[in-house]
Amino acid sequence: MKVAVVGATGLVGGEILKVLEERNFPVSELIPVASERSIGKKVSFKGKEYDVVGYDTAIAKKPNVAIFSAGGGTSLAIAPKFAEAGITVVDNSSAWRMDPTKKLVVPEINASTLTPEDKIIANPNCSTIQMVVVMNPLHKKYKIKRVVVSTYQSVTGTGKAAVDQLFNERAGKSEYDKVYPHKIDLNVLPHIDVFLDNGYTKEEMKMVNETKKIMMDDSIQVTATTVRIPTIGGHSESVNIEFENDFDLEEVRNILAQEEGVIVQDDPKNFLYPMPITAHGKDEVFVGRIRRDETQPNTLNLWIVADNLRKGAATNAVQIAEYLAKHQLI
């Protein structure tokens, strides 16, 4: 199968290449793609080096699938050109997520809605993906009414320049490129993406709107506060879920333990709970600190962690491509 990776020289693009290799995706020909300034650079895949090509060259090579991680502007401009050429696009940016004509897919939840006609498929926001993977089986059993989520998100979610800023600050450098409006090392920024007129950030509203679309239920109420913290390795979330029906804690743990792609780490007596440092490089979503909210009925508290570059981006995109290949949709 011919596979193009658009944005192959970026942080997520590199992770996509790694995930394709690790999961042994059936790549007969790899086509690494990037903007004009990166054409001619080399990327490694399965011990071999490949030259990065431009968009037109990639389209001419007619890949079966193109996994995009090149930013929203690029996706809006270039993805339709791939689609018009009959190439199925799996897009990591926010460009197509809320387009009513495009599917927003987390394979464990709604891959079954995909058809051969879906030529541009949106990959959800990283913080949304890990939350809905955990919430979906609980929603089926107890029916979610309302979710209050606070995130603790890694600088890797902003990209390589943000990681460089963190380590330049940690090294005590005075001259460095700043991605954030404030210092990030030894600090916390309650600010991810741009602020909107309603006082929320775009990231917060992504979690609100994407959750309803992925879970195909507009009745689920979500309110979010998204926060950037000086870590790498993964995003963490404190999630408070109110259900219509009551639950048994042991049953909740069993439901989650049986869910594909979820690992329960919930043994506080032995200090076992999810952390970015242990989620780093893993494809699963980790959940722990499972406990009843004692202030109101039918309400659960959870702590959810996942590597935002893996399940939050690259792995989810590759899983979509795997589903398309398995069901002969590409």
Task: Give pLDDT, residue 317.
Answer: 98
Query: Is residue 39 classed as helix, strand or coil in its secondary structure?
Result: coil
Q: Under a CB-based contact definition with an 8 Å cutoff, are residues 226 and 207 in contact?
A: yes
Q: How far apart are CA 59 and CA 176, in angstroms?
A: 37
According to the annotation, is 278 in a ligand binding site?
Answer: no
- Segments of the chain assigned E as strands: 2-6, 29-33, 42-45, 48-51, 65-68, 88-91, 103-104, 120-122, 144-152, 221-225, 235-243, 262-264, 285-292, 299-306
| Whether 20 contacts 27, CB under 8 Å | yes
Per-residue pLDDT of the chain (330 residues; tens, 9 = 90+): 999 999 999 989 999 999 999 999 999 999 999 999 999 999 999 999 999 999 999 999 999 999 999 999 999 999 999 999 999 999 999 999 999 999 999 999 999 999 999 999 999 999 999 999 999 999 999 999 999 999 999 999 999 999 999 999 999 999 999 999 999 999 999 999 999 999 999 999 999 999 999 999 999 999 999 999 999 999 999 999 999 999 999 999 999 999 999 999 999 999 999 999 999 999 999 999 999 999 999 999 999 999 999 999 999 999 999 999 999 999
What is the residue-wise DSSP string for 204-225?
Answer: HHHHHHHHHHHTT-TT-EEEEE
Known active-site residue 327: no
Burial pattern 101-113, b for ≥16 Cβ within 10 A else e, equals ebbbbbbbbbbee
Q: Are 237 and 305 in contact (CB under 8 A)?
A: yes
Question: Does the annotation list 228 as a binding residue?
Answer: yes
- Partners of residue 68 on adjacent β-strands: 6, 91
pLDDT averaged over the chain?
Answer: 97
pLDDT score at 255 = 98
* Cα–Cα dist 18/314, whole Å: 9
Report pLDDT for 46. 96
pLDDT for position 272 = 98
H helix or E strand, kind and range, residue 129: helix 126-142
- The pLDDT, as a whole number, for residue 217 is 97
Please name each of the domains of the chain with its CATH number. Answer: 2-123+313-326 (3.40.50.720), 127-308 (3.30.360.10)
For position 326, what pLDDT does the model report?
97
- Separation of CA 28 from chain center: 26
The one catalytic residue in 139, 235, 280, 327 is 235
**Hey, what's the torsion of the CAs at 262, 275, 215, 120, to 10 degrees?**
-90
Structure confidence at residue 203 (pLDDT): 97
Question: What DSSP designation does 96 have?
Answer: S
Residue 37 labeled ligand binder:
yes
Per-residue pLDDT tens digits for 135-149: 999 999 999 999 999
Q: Strands across the sheet with 144-152, in order?
A: 221-225, 144-152, 235-243, 299-306, 285-292, 262-264
The reply to whether 9 sits in an annotated binding site is yes
Bridge partners (DSSP) of residue 306 are: 235
pLDDT at residue 158 in the model: 94
pLDDT tens readout for residues 50-75: 999 999 999 999 999 999 999 999 99
* Annotated catalytic residue within 126, 191, 280, 327: 126
Q: Are 36 and 54 in contact (CB under 8 A)?
A: yes
CA 284 to chain centre: 12
10 has binding-site annotation: yes
Residues 315, 40: Cα–Cα separation, whole Å? 26
Amino acid at 323: Y
- Predicted pLDDT at 47: 94
Determine whether the annotation assigns residue 97 to a binding site: yes
What region, left, alpha or beta, does residue 37 occupy, with left being phi > 0 and alpha being psi -120 to 50 degrees? alpha
Contacts of 60 (CB under 8 A, 6+ apart): none
- Rounded Cα distance, 73 and 283, in Å: 28
**According to the model, what pLDDT value does residue 147 have?**
98
